[in-house]
Amino acid sequence: MRRVSLGILSLALVLGGSTLVAAHAFLERADPRVGSTVRTPPTQVRLWFTERLEPAFSTVTVTNAAGQAVDTGDGRVDPAAPTVLRVSVPPLPPGRYTVRWRVLSVDTHVTEGTFQFTVAP
């Protein structure tokens, strides 16, 4: 009986632990792609995450090589797709841009990061 109880406890810990690991919202993909060079400037930067996001506490900004904000300030979680964070950008001239994001998943875990993309001349 004791052996069965230990086995069940071990299984519960393994399954519970895997749930905790998957609970954070990690960046899955982005458009423009992370590190990419695009010929046509985007009108919007979109980021897909592995978990649903809390709209009130999730942000995204786009800056140019000088560190100046170039997005329109409308960064938000897409109401129709709660794992997508998006922000509009005006027509971007050629150059390198940095996307900075900070998100809170609905299970209260915060993740953040940056990536760059380049608009080719």
pLDDT of the residue at 1: 54
pLDDT of the residue at 8: 44
> What CATH code is carried by the domain that includes residue 100?
2.60.40.1220
Instruction: Give the global pTM.
Output: 0.80
What is the domain range of residue 106? 2-119
pLDDT of the residue at 24: 87
Q: Using an 8 Å Cβ cutoff, are 45 and 30 in contact? A: yes
Q: How far apart are CA 12 and CA 33, in angstroms?
A: 38
Q: What is the number of domains present in the chain? A: 1
| pLDDT tens for each residue of the chain, 121 residues long | 545 444 443 444 344 443 444 568 999 999 999 999 999 999 999 999 999 999 999 999 999 999 999 999 999 999 999 999 999 999 999 999 999 999 999 889 999 999 999 999 9
pLDDT of the residue at 63: 98
Q: Say how many Å lie between the first and final Cα of the chain, rounded.
A: 71
